[in-house]
Amino acid sequence: MSTQAGSEVKVFLRTRPTANFAENLIEYVDGQTVNVHQKKDSRKGVVNNQLNSWSFRLDGVLHDVSQEEVYARVGRGVVLGAVEGYNGTVMCFGQTGAGKTYTITGASGSYQERGIIPRAIQEVFHEVDQRSTHTFRVQLSYLEIYNESLVDLLASLRGCPGAGPGPGGMAVVEEACGGVSIRGLSLHLVHSEEEALNLLFEGEMNRIIGTHALNKNSSRSHCIFTVHIESHSRTLSEAKYVTSKLNLVDLAGSERLGKIEPEGQMLKEAMYINKSLSFLEQAILALADRRRDHIPFRQSKLTHALKDSLGGNCNTVLVANIYGEAAHVEETLSTLRFASRMKRVQTDPIINQHTDPVVRLLLLYGSSSASDCLPSSSPPPKADAFEDFKAEQGSEINRILKENKVVLLECRARLRELTEGVNTTKREIDSTSTTLRQWKDRQQSQGQFISADGVPVLDEAELSLVLRLRDLKTHYRQQYEELHCIKAEVNYCQHLVDQCRTRLLTEFESWYNESFLLPEEVQALLRSGGTIRPGLVPVDKALSLHFERRRYELLADSPSATIFYSAHNRTVKRVGQHTHICTPISPNIMTTDR
Ligand SMILES: Nc1ncnc2c1ncn2[C@@H]1O[C@H](COP(=O)(O)OP(=O)(O)OP(=O)(O)O)[C@@H](O)[C@H]1O
């Protein structure tokens, strides 16, 4: 089993931008050290021993930095680790309105300001596309913990297996391997970045948001977005496979009750939030103390659900969000205290390797009494089976692949034509400029014609050259712009074709294994929808890959932005909220990631 060198939880500080940043109270020293000064409390008497300066050492201070940099420093390592098979957690903690949701999810509907979750999704699928030696299975879940109740934020999606809490309701359950899972929480298989973003936006729509004195869209709950990754080697025909869980956690805001004076429902919410955060703090304190053998995870739903995600077998990163104004310096201090406790928690991540029961069965039977268990006839050659698959089970995705190839070929032909056109125009511009220059030189040597008013007079031939040059330049600019668009379109079509091809091959592999290589009794298990997963992807999901050409024309030069906006808009349309359908403000803004 591979392991990563044990270390501590990584902790970063991120500040919400404000014009009133309390520079005299909060001091950043070397990119890692934060000093906080607080005025002595006069109500406690003139003479008191209260300290008024604190120093905290963290892994990094993210002050005035872009979402992209935050992801690069905080998220990327954890995400890449998860693709390798290491569990990972990125968690945002801090007072209400300090920027936790902005950090983890990002500003709603803005590609540049998307947060860690959409970027992590993009990275996971990028890696999946790159790693052709493995097949990946990516599933998502989105859990909300509101007033000590577990809520499935993706329960509204009909037709997903495992959806619905079942008779016992939702609950955190301990697993034999020491981890935890949530009974009744729906898991959704996703095949592309766009499908995954659809689910994220769907879940966002369902979150419980309240208005708070410090944040008009305050999240009144804890949310855990989890990417479950499973990978099998394509080349090694062994039963081993690797799984990992990537948890992206947005905690509810920590707030002193006295400060905001909530009432009614808000008071109840605030009490639940504070209680669960204080249990979280107790669990962290216990985890940081190596002499402790009991960690009080079961005190709250939050700590129980995060049992296997806070240090231990997990790459854990905490972002401590602060709102650095003088009025909030106490919250800043308490956030930093929490962060420095968290930093003492040890991590010891290992790759989560398992053995596939189906393949193990196959290998086992194959080596002992193959004739009893393996299918009676020998499997057909793969090339023939592939042709059959394309004509039957895989016909829909194969049709989409063919259609996309046709569009790609058309786009390429158009690109060639335009490139030739641009080159021809450029040559004409050059030759017309040369002729004009020569004409001018000749005129200069003969002397310039001047009108009766003393204005230089253009010769008719020279005038026609000047006009021709102007027209050519206008035409060149138009062609160039068109060329730029068609290039982006070609890239995007190529991306879709690659995606369809990978999908066709992956589905064929699953179908071939299940149809010809598995023992008949195992095939029967798969058919009856037993505990063993079927490998085929439903056709309606495959259809979602269909190329919606017109809709993408606007967004042609940035495929990943296209995916982001398309998923966002689809969710907004489906849910029918009064949210804006978002399109990029201008192509320039879209392509330059802040
Ligand atoms: N780094 C940042 N850059 C730009 N805007 C930010 C940043 N951080 C926070 N904001 C803005 O501040 C406001 C509050 O942020 P956010 O909702 O993320 O806070 P929060 O900590 O999640 O609050 P709560 O605990 O109430 O849910 C939002 O309007 C958000 O867009």
pLDDT over 90 at 113, yes or no = yes
Ordered structural domains, the chain, with CATH: 7-41+51-355 (3.40.850.10), 357-445+459-546 (1.20.1270)
Query: What's the CA-to-centroid distance between 251 and ligand 1, angstroms?
Result: 13
| Residue range 119-148, pLDDT digits in tens | 999 999 999 988 888 889 999 999 999 888
| Residue range 438-485, pLDDT digits in tens | 888 887 787 767 777 777 777 788 889 899 999 999 999 998 888 888
Predicted confidence at residue 7, as pLDDT, reads 82
Q: Residues enclosing ligand 1, CB less than 6 A?
A: 16-17, 94, 96-102, 107, 212, 215, 217-219, 252-253, 321
By most ligand atoms within 8 Å of CB, the mutation choice from 102, 117, 220, 269 for ligand 1 is 102
250 CA closest ligand 1 atom index = 22
Query: What's the CA-to-centroid distance between 338 and ligand 1, angstroms?
Result: 19
Predicted confidence at residue 588, as pLDDT, reads 33
251 CA closest ligand 1 atom index = 25
Whether 279 and 305 have beta carbons less than 8 Å apart is answered as no
**Which of 4-18, 168-182, 284-298, 357-371 has the least mean pLDDT?**
357-371
- In whole angstroms, what is the distance from residue 484 CA to residue 489 CA? 9
| Residue range 378-401, pLDDT digits in tens | 677 777 888 888 888 888 888 988
216 CA closest ligand 1 atom index = 26
Confidence of residue 516 (pLDDT cuts 50, 70, 90): confident
Predicted confidence at residue 370, as pLDDT, reads 39
Nearest CA to ligand 1 atom 14: 97
- The 10 Å CB-count burial string (b at 16+, else e) for 54-82 is eebebbbbbbeeebeebbebbbebbbbbb
Predicted confidence at residue 361, as pLDDT, reads 62
- In whole angstroms, what is the distance from residue 125 CA to residue 457 CA? 65
Predicted confidence at residue 264, as pLDDT, reads 64
264: left (phi over 0), alpha (psi -120 to 50) or beta: left
- In whole angstroms, what is the distance from residue 504 CA to residue 397 CA? 6
3-state SS of the chain: helix, strand, coil percent to 5?
A: 50, 20, 35
Reported ipTM exceeds the 0.90 cut: yes
DSSP annotation of 350: B
Q: What is the mean pLDDT of residues 164-181?
A: 77
Mean residue pLDDT across the chain: 79
Query: What's the CA-to-centroid distance between 331 and ligand 1, angstroms?
Result: 15
Whether 155 and 286 have beta carbons less than 8 Å apart is answered as no
- Tokens coding 154: 């993706």
**Which of 165-179, 218-232, 355-369, 393-407 has the least mean pLDDT?**
355-369
252 CA closest ligand 1 atom index = 25
Confidence of residue 82 (pLDDT cuts 50, 70, 90): very high
96 CA closest ligand 1 atom index = 25
Read out DSSP for 524-563?
HHHHTT-SSPP-PPPHHHHHTTS--HHHHHTTTT-HHHHH
pLDDT over 60 at 324, yes or no = yes
**Which of 80-94, 401-415, 547-561, 567-581 has the least mean pLDDT?**
547-561
What are the angstrom distances between the C-alpha of 520 and each of 261, 361, 372?
66, 12, 10
Looking at 314-356, list the stretches that DSSP marks H as alpha helix, in order from N- to C-terminal side. 329-342
Query: What's the CA-to-centroid distance between 159 and ligand 1, angstroms?
Result: 34
DSSP annotation of 580: P
Query: What's the CA-to-centroid distance between 565 and ligand 1, angstroms?
Result: 21
pLDDT over 80 at 334, yes or no = yes
- In whole angstroms, what is the distance from residue 346 CA to residue 364 CA? 40
Predicted confidence at residue 494, as pLDDT, reads 85
Predicted confidence at residue 319, as pLDDT, reads 97
Query: What's the CA-to-centroid distance between 206 and ligand 1, angstroms?
Result: 18
Query: What's the CA-to-centroid distance between 217 and ligand 1, angstroms?
Result: 9
Confidence of residue 564 (pLDDT cuts 50, 70, 90): confident
pLDDT over 80 at 357, yes or no = no
Radius of gyration of the chain (CA): 31
Nearest CA to ligand 1 atom 16: 99
* Sheet with 33-37: strands ordered across: 26-28, 33-37, 53-57
By most ligand atoms within 8 Å of CB, the mutation choice from 12, 14, 15, 16 for ligand 1 is 16
Whether 212 and 144 have beta carbons less than 8 Å apart is answered as no
Q: 256 or 564, which is more confident?
A: 564
67 CA closest ligand 1 atom index = 1
Predicted confidence at residue 138, as pLDDT, reads 95
Torsion angle of C-alpha atoms 250, 188, 77, 557, degrees rounded to 10: -100
Q: 154 or 263, which is more confident?
A: 154
Q: What is the mean pLDDT of residues 155-163?
A: 57
Confidence of residue 548 (pLDDT cuts 50, 70, 90): very low
Predicted confidence at residue 555, as pLDDT, reads 46
pLDDT over 80 at 372, yes or no = no
Percent of the chain with pLDDT over 90: 33
Predicted confidence at residue 429, as pLDDT, reads 92
92 CA closest ligand 1 atom index = 21
- In whole angstroms, what is the distance from residue 354 CA to residue 240 CA? 5
Confidence of residue 214 (pLDDT cuts 50, 70, 90): low
Query: What's the CA-to-centroid distance between 97 and ligand 1, angstroms?
Result: 5
- In whole angstroms, what is the distance from residue 384 CA to residue 310 CA? 50
Nearest CA to ligand 1 atom 11: 99
pLDDT over 90 at 346, yes or no = no
Query: What's the CA-to-centroid distance between 103 and ligand 1, angstroms?
Result: 8
> Which residue numbers belong to the known binding site for ATP?
94-101
Confidence of residue 197 (pLDDT cuts 50, 70, 90): very high
| Residue range 35-80, pLDDT digits in tens | 999 876 655 555 555 558 899 999 999 999 999 999 999 999 999 9
Q: Which residues contact 310 (CB under 8 A, 6 or more apart)?
A: 9, 89, 283, 284, 287, 316, 345
